[in-house]
Amino acid sequence: MTMNEQRPLGSPFTAAIRAQDIVAGRDLSRTTAVVTGGYSGLGLETTRALVSAGARVVVPARRPHVARAALQGVGNCEVVPMDLADLDSVRSAAAHIGDSLGRLDLLMAVAGVMATPERRVGPGWEGHLAANHFGHFTLACELYPLLAAAGGARVVVNSSAGHALTGIRRHDPHFRTGYDKWLAYGQSKTANALFAVHLDALGRDDGVRAFALHPGKIITGLQREMSLPEQIDRGWVDEHGNVIGAGFKTPSQGAATGLWAATCPLLDGRGGLYLEDCDVARASAPDASMDDGGVHAYAVDPEGAARLWDISAAATGAAPISR
C-alpha cells in the first residue's frame, strides 16, 4: 500500500448516510462477526445493523452485565467477557470465541478510550496504547486462524482523525517523561491505522484484508473521561450537554463507515487503506490538522507499520502471523 492508493473511489454514500442504510438489502445470514465495544455508541449501532441483516455477532465486553442489558431484544448475538487492557482476558475471550465459531468473517475493532487521566496497565504500559492498540492487536492475532478460515475476511479498525496529533513516539511511547492525554490518544489512533496496514500485508494471501477508518465526530460514551466544561470549551456541547458543534454525526452515521468497510464490494481486492465518510480517505498535507480530514503519510507507512508490528508482538507475546 502506498499513499497513491489513498484516493476516494467515488462511493455512492456520503457522510450523512446511516448504519441501517449501509446494510439495507444485504443478506449477511452466513456472516459471523466480532464487534468490540458492540454494546454502546458506534459499536451498538454496528451490532444492531449487522444483526438486522442476518449476521451472527459476538460482542466482547468489559462489563458483560451492561452489555447484555444494552443488547436485550437484539437477536443472534452473544456477549463474551473481555477487558482489552488485560491480555489474559483477551486470550480467554479469543479461546471462547474459537470454541464457538468455525470461522470469522468480520472483526470490527470499535472499542476504545480517549483523553483519559494517566493510567498504567500490565507492565507499566500507557493506558491508551494498551487498550486501543495492544488489546486489539492481541485479539486479532489470536483470532487469525478463524479469519483465515473464512476465505475472505475483513478486519475493520476504528482509528480517528486524532492520528494527526502525533505519529508513534518511538523515543517514549509510554510517556515516561511526562503525560499528555491528547498525544497519548493520538498515538494510539496512529497505531490503529498502522496495525491495519501490516495486518493486511500479512493476511492478504489468506484472503484477510484490513482497513482503518475515521468514523467522524460523534458524541458518545467515548467522551466519558472529559468534563462537561472541557467539552463546552472545545465547542462540542452546550451547558446542558447538547451537541452544538459543527460537523457532528449521529452514532448511526458514525457507524456507517465501519459497516461500509465491512461489506462494500468496492473494496474487494483492496486493503491496508484508511477510510472516512464511506470512502477511501485522501492523503493529507504534512501540516494538516485533525479537522482537515484525510490521512497523514506516517499513519499508512508500510515500514512504520512493520516496525510497530514487531514492537507489539514483542510486548504482547502475541501469536505470530506468517505470510
CA 16 to chain centre: 20
Q: Which DSSP state fits 40?
A: S
**Residue 191 is inside which H or E element, if any?**
helix 181-203
Residue 126, φ and ψ in degrees, nearest 5: -65, 140
User: Do 146 and 97 form a contact (C-beta atoms < 8 A)?
Assistant: yes
Annotation says 144 is catalytic: no
Which is catalytic among the residues 179, 185, 274, 298? 185
The cell 496504547 sits on which residue?
Answer: 129
Region for 115 from its dihedrals, namely left if φ exceeds 0, alpha if ψ lies in -120 to 50, beta otherwise: left
Cell of 72: 436485550
User: Do 225 and 231 form a contact (C-beta atoms < 8 A)?
Assistant: no
Report strand pairing: 56-61 vs 32-36.
Answer: parallel
**Residue 125 is inside which H or E element, if any?**
strand 125-126
Q: Which of 4, 77, 2, 34 is nearest to 262 (CA)?
A: 34
**Residue 212 is inside which H or E element, if any?**
strand 209-214
Contacts of 145 (CB under 8 A, 6+ apart): 98
172 vs 97, 128, 176, 188, CA distance in Å? 35, 14, 6, 13
Residue 30, φ and ψ in degrees, nearest 5: -100, 15
Q: Which of 53, 42, 110 is nearest to 77 (CA)?
A: 53
Question: Which positions are annotated as active-site residues?
Answer: 185
